[in-house]
Amino acid sequence: MQPVFNDCFLSWMQEERMIEKIKKFIDEQGLLISGISCSKSKVIVGLSGGADSVVLLYVLYQLGYECRAAHCNFHLRGCESDRDEQFASNLASLWNIPFFKRDFRTQNTASERGISIEMAARDLRYEWFEQLRKEQNADAVAVAHHQDDNIETILLNLIRGTGIKGLTGIKPRNGNVIRPLLCISKREILQFAEKESLLYITDSSNLQDEYIRNKIRLSLIPLLQSINPSFKSTLLQMMKNLSEATKIYDEYIAEAKKKVFNPIEKTIDIPVLQTLSSPESVLFEILKDYGFGPDRIQNVASAMKSQSGKEFYSPEYLLIKDRKQFFLLSHKQKEDKNVYEINKNVKEIHSPLSIYFIFENITGNFEIIKDKKIAYFDADKLLFPLRLKKWEKGDRFVPFGINGFQKLSDYFNNHKFSKPQKRNTWLLCSGNDIIWIVGHQTDNRYRVNKETKKVGIFKLF
């Protein structure tokens, strides 16, 4: 005779299996210290009030972690936003869990930062979560992404264009942010919530075919499942396979970057890049961090063999092809036309450059050190305040050791300055005279000679 299980017992078994599955995932991924041990991890749990976040908070609470519920009110859905906040607050109070909430002017932030409302909400959310984590001295911030979110992310990346990493999905950990529910599906979450009689609310915007992610969820995934009923599990397995392949890829890219990219000067060595087995992949991994998309990077790769002067733009950077190198230049650097004044009694400056200023009387032991980072001037000829500025068309000076004027444009060309070097070079001026192309050449009219009684020594550091 087969044993008979009542509904309560079956419910308890399913609860145990679900909680154990999540606990095992947390332990395997090293997301938190086991809540059963004497040393409990403190966790900030993002609580929107939806089924995913409610189940996340419930499971972590049941596992013995020291939870703090954090709710964001983005004020994007009128009364619904306030309803969600009240529900989250009541739930935390019911479970005796400390509750924190923050109001955001999301639409204003999106306008100020020039990004979408969806992106603004995401940024504000994680910025506050990290601030709260530090204030509460918590070990991590837990958010409720699950397997279906992972599938949507992979498809979204495919639509927008991505590298190999974009096909490996959401990571269980990203810095201090952890995702304990990535081991379970949305269906499992809803079934668990129903079995445990967990109350939750539904964001009506998730049921609307309004945002790209919702279009993927409501239209694209059902279509793909009609073609292949096992589509979700197939995609998740592909993600695991690619995650393993990515380890090899990352090792290759790391070594390639060392060979071709100077992160301090932000230059890419084109001849060395061309010797690599996949130059475009290396370019992608370098330039994506500076805001360049796949289409733009393809154009950059095509420009490796073209003439100098080609320029490519991202929201924050300019990339210039110059002879045998690509140069990255921030728009801030490009547009810096400020003039910085230096008064007579100043001993050092740190913006826009770091320079020491030393004035000494000439003695019999005085010696000039040949170093382009050190400039010597007849101090009595200097007219204060000195000025630091960028090159402008028509600028000229008298190069050291020469009596006649030379245009700076000619000096730059003769010394093979790249476009970024020209734009980044600062000029030190006394009155209307350029006395130092900083780090390169001084003006002959201000040189130290036999008649000099006091010397100005300027050291670039």
For the segment 368-376, the average pLDDT, to the nearest whole number, is 93
Question: pLDDT-derived band of residue 339, with 50, 70 and 90 as boundaries?
Answer: confident
CA distance readout (Å), 269 to 124, 272, 310, 323, 324: 38, 6, 16, 10, 6
Give per-residue pLDDT as tens, 446-456. Answer: 999 999 999 99
Higher pLDDT, 2 or 80: 80
* Arithmetic mean of pLDDT, 103-114: 88
Segment 238-251, tens digit of pLDDT? 998 998 899 999 99
Average pLDDT, rounded, for the chain = 88
Rounded distance between C-alpha atoms, residue 238 and residue 229, angstroms = 16
Does the pTM surpass 0.85? The reply is no
Alpha-carbon gap, residue 246 to 219, rounded angstroms: 30
**Domains of the chain (ranges, CATH numbers):** 7-227 (3.40.50.620), 258-333 (1.20.59.20), 340-460 (3.50.40.10)
Q: Residue 199 corresponds to which amino acid?
A: L
Q: Cβ–Cβ contacts within 10 Å for residue 380, how many?
A: 12
Q: What percent of the chain has pLDDT over 90?
A: 60
Q: Which own/partner pairs from 130-136 qualify as long-range (CB within 8 Å, at least 24 positions apart)?
A: 130/176, 132/44, 132/68, 132/70, 132/100, 133/44, 133/176, 136/42, 136/44, 136/68
pLDDT over 60 at 146, yes or no:
yes
Cβ atoms of residues 280 and 292 within 8 Å: no
CA distance 230 to 190: 20
Yes or no: say if 254 and 292 are a contact pair by the CB < 8 Å rule.
no
Average pLDDT over residues 289-302: 86
pLDDT at position 337: 59
pLDDT of residue 17: 86
Q: What is the pLDDT of residues 163-189, one digit of tens each?
A: 788 888 999 999 999 999 999 999 999
Query: Exposed/middle/buried for 84, CB within 10 Å: 0-12, 13-18, 19+?
Result: buried
What is the pLDDT, as a whole number, of residue 334? Answer: 52
Residue 36 pLDDT more than 70?
no
